[in-house]
Amino acid sequence: EKPDIYSVEIHGTKDLKKEDLGNEKENYKDLKGDKCKGKKTEDLKKELDLDDHKLSSEELEEKYGSSIIKGLTSARAAEVLARDGPNTLTPPKSTPEIVKFLRQMIGGFSILLWFGTILCWIAFGILFAQGKAGAWDQLYLGVVLALVVILTGIFAYYQEAKSTNIMASFKKMIPQQALVLRDSEKKEISADQLVVGDIVEIKGGDRIPADIRILSSQGCKVDNSSLTGESEPQSRSCEFTHENPLETKNIAFYSTTCLEGTITGMVINTGDRTIIGRIASLASGVGNEKTPIALEIEHFVHIVAGVAISIGVIFFIIAISMGYEVLHSIIFLIGIIVANVPEGLLATVTVSLSLTAKRMAKKNCLVKNLEAVETLGSTSIICSDKTGTLTQNRMTVAHLWFDQQIYSADTSENQTTQTFDQTSGTWAALSKIVSLCNRAEFRPGQEELPIMKRIVVGDASETALLKFSEVVLGDVLEIRKKNRKVAEIPFNSTNKFQLSIHETDDPNDKRFLLVMKGAPERILERCSTIMIDGKEEPLDAEKAEAFQTAYMELGGMGERVLGFCHLYLPEQEFPDTYPFDTDSMNFPTSNLCFIGLMSMIDPPRSTVPDAVMKCRSAGIKVIMVTGDHPITAKAIAKSVGIISATSETVEDIAKRLNIPVEVVDKREARAAVINGMELKDMTSEQLDEILRNHSEIVFARTSPQQKLIIVEGCQRQNAVVAVTGDGVNDSPALKKADIGIAMGIAGSDAAKNAADMVLLDDNFASIVTGVEEGRLIFDNLKKTIAYTLTKNIAELCPFLIYIMASVPLPIGTITILFIDLGTDIIPSVALAYEKAESDIMKRKPRHKKKDRLVNQELAVYSYLQIGILQSIGAFLTYFTVYAEQGWLPSQLLHIRVDWEDLHRGDLEDSYGQQWTFSQRQYLEWTGYTAFFVSITIEQVADLIIRKTRRNSIFQQGLF
């Protein structure tokens, strides 16, 4: 059972949305009408309806009854607070621990064993009332069955015990204090007291205390990664820049972080009405699906119960028609039903799942819900997030362009060297700009760590450039010391460049060096020359065209491109005492010399392409669902093999044939890249058509609500869907999926709590390991069940013969328990350790409706073929033991009534010897032992038969 989501720890917009999805159903599940619940979840799934970003300041003041100059009055604030409630997220109702424990006690197999227990106790009552000898056996049997259920229930509960109370992480996420303007005064108040219409001030480092419409800002950047999946800091200003409230620059969202600058804004949403609040509600509004293995076990319980009751009733009728008393017949009925219950199987299945979970933990997959292990094996679609799962979640320099040539850089996880040509004078100039025009710094005290693992203070792009130059040039801080900085203009969204002026480390050159980096087109328009092979040449149309081609090519690969230029300032105009002023810019910023381009990308993890290939061969479709830009998403999808090299999208075909996109037959395209805006306008039928007709799909610029819709679309295709995610915005989809997989390192608490499995190393390749383990456990459970069911017939036949032929009881109920809970448990568990046969990763995923855990073939083979053989073998031993003591088989027929008569001391055997009751009982117990030993030995042979389902024992090997 998936845990409830109590908290949202925000890592950006992504997180925000996820959480919303989850909480809502929990909150409303106790209301009588399901309509309310369904309607509310459907409402939340719709995209955000908000127009505050389009309103002017005056319209905002009027809408919220506030004043930008004076703020709200305390009276008005108290009124709104009473109406809307505090600015906090409502935690969902949690499932009490006792309920979870009881679910373990009465779910699946357990219910069958409880049924057996009650029947045993009824039989004890009947026999005890009649003063019969075997009464106490029935009591013991009932007690043992009850103990089996309780112990395995405790074990399963312990295995799955997980914290559902995540309020602590909620509290971590929520900003504690806010600076607010009320009654014309600035006051520091607790953030939960904020109301709509409040004017708040936020500075760099603060968490945003509610959804805010920005009224004024200075150099503000926010981290929206948990909401939108964009790892780059997003600039914020008071301009209305986009119709979509999630994209416009004049809204800042609750629980995201202000990284730098300052904002003054008006609160437009609080608590559960914020974007994060909506995601949190959405996550709890999503119901938990039953795991495939739970359905299989339910199916199996129905089969076993059906067989047991059918045989029981048939023989009850036979017993009555043979003249047995009704009470006697009821005892037979109970005996037959109990003999059919596989007492040891519950323990075996739980132990097998636990063993696999432990094995997976060693491979960095932490399984929170034992049944999820098998679900992963039957997965047919994986919807994977991009950032951090398929990629490394860090910007890395991918390409360089200088001397009119594109060079590739090493983007692997642990770069030690870079192999491109470093002899050119242009590279010397470019490397100097990269090192100097950069504000990022390594945190001190990390000299021992590999460069790529060091922590950097600075934004993602500058971090990438710093690490790159540290790998290629060595000590960057030393280079900066030798080239002292005298002036600097940081990057801002208006200029779109960053500039600094330095003294140079050349003792013979007293000139200052001005270095600049920024958006390539802005940098180029400030240049009049370009450096080629270390020499400056005029920047003519031909060279500008070469720049444009390279820029388009790198941009088309989904990479973030930066341009670099420099200028040596003439010594006469700019002597060493010159007072540089960055406000008036008393230095040249045009006619510079263009040096080159560098492009960065969050590169794929090295293990992912191979993992995607394995998924392909295992018949699993991998769909990328990301909040990132379509071009970047497509580039990463191609590089990891989600879109294969030969596949084309509709746009690719249109480009190749030079025709409009509308004319192309969509079915010709194997691949599809769907934008969130397109998805918004699609009906569920159109989405189903895309999922059916395209084998390679990328969804880009998606919101958390859309992620949920995509998962539901996949489930409509009868697929078993696994979803990976790390942000709050993924939590609704994680909860809705058949198996939710959260990231252990980058994942937010909300995501981890919605998931069934956590990848401790955030690596997509670990999922493939999980799929393999899941398929293996299904195979091994099938072997275990087949092995366990076989001896059911050998345990059942003695009762049937006892009733039909009236022979002394061949095996007692307690002895049967010795087999089920003693000799059979270890071999059953041993089958869980069995290695995979052939290549289970080359098979198609199992169809959840057709490929059952227990099917007709398995039942017929276990019950009728091997089971009958075992019974014959056991009866052979039984009759041999009696014959050796003087009781030939013909003499045993119809002797039961006399045999069980306590007062009969002169019963004669085939040779005329007289037997007292105690002697007969001793012989009966010897018969039990003979029957027991026979079944045990036959089960050893059965174990060897069951060891493989496809291979021969010689291929697989005995050990």
- Measured between alpha carbons, how far is 926 from 811 in angstroms, rounded to an integer? 9
Quote the crossing angle between the two packed helices 704-716 and 684-693, to the nearest 10°.
Answer: 70
Residue of 527, 522, 502 lying closest to 588 (CA atoms): 527
Quote the crossing angle between the two packed helices 13-28 and 704-716, to the nearest 10°.
Answer: 60
**739-743 and 757-759 strand pairing:** parallel
CA distance readout (Å), 403 to 220, 390, 433, 592, 852 = 37, 33, 16, 17, 63
- Measured between alpha carbons, how far is 652 from 724 in angstroms, rounded to an integer? 28
Please give the structure tokens belonging to residue 136.
């106490």
Residue of 8, 14, 50, 17 lying closest to 175 (CA atoms): 8
Please give the structure tokens belonging to residue 447.
């000299």
SS3 843: coil
Residue of 495, 11, 481 lying closest to 224 (CA atoms): 11
Which helix (DSSP H) or strand (DSSP E) does residue 892 occupy?
helix 889-892
CB 901 within 8 A of CB 808: no
End-to-end CA distance of the chain: 36
Please give the structure tokens belonging to residue 651.
């746009």
- Measured between alpha carbons, how far is 379 from 447 in angstroms, rounded to an integer? 44
- Measured between alpha carbons, how far is 314 from 309 in angstroms, rounded to an integer? 8
Please give the structure tokens belonging to residue 676.
């969130």
564 φ, ψ (degrees, to nearest 5): -130, 135
CA distance readout (Å), 766 to 376, 614, 832, 859 = 12, 12, 21, 35
Where do the H-state alpha helices sit in 737-849?
749-754, 764-805, 813-818, 825-832
Burial class (CB in 10 A: 0-12, 13-18, 19+), 583: exposed
DSSP state of 668: G
- Measured between alpha carbons, how far is 54 from 927 in angstroms, rounded to an integer? 89
Residue of 732, 664, 733, 675 lying closest to 699 (CA atoms): 675
Please give the structure tokens belonging to residue 576.
């060493």
Please give the structure tokens belonging to residue 865.
């073929």
CA distance readout (Å), 44 to 38, 50, 283, 702 = 10, 13, 10, 15
Secondary structure (DSSP) of 875-944? HHHHHHHHHHTT--HHHHTT-HHHHT-TT---EE-TTS-EE-HHHHHHHHHHHHHHHHHHHHHHHHHHHH
Please give the structure tokens belonging to residue 404.
């009119």
Please give the structure tokens belonging to residue 638.
């191609």
Amino acid identity of 329? S
Quote the crossing angle between the two packed helices 630-640 and 541-556, to the nearest 10°.
Answer: 70
**Following CA atoms 855, 860, 863, 866 in sequence, which dihedral angle do they give, to the nearest 10 degrees?**
-120
Please give the structure tokens belonging to residue 792.
């059911």
Q: Mind telling me the catalytic residues?
A: 385
- Measured between alpha carbons, how far is 204 from 220 in angstroms, rounded to an integer? 8
CA distance readout (Å), 515 to 398, 502, 588 = 22, 8, 11
Please give the structure tokens belonging to residue 694.
């395209």
- Measured between alpha carbons, how far is 439 from 458 in angstroms, rounded to an integer? 7
Q: What is the CA radius of gyration of the chain?
A: 37
CB 580 within 8 A of CB 486: yes
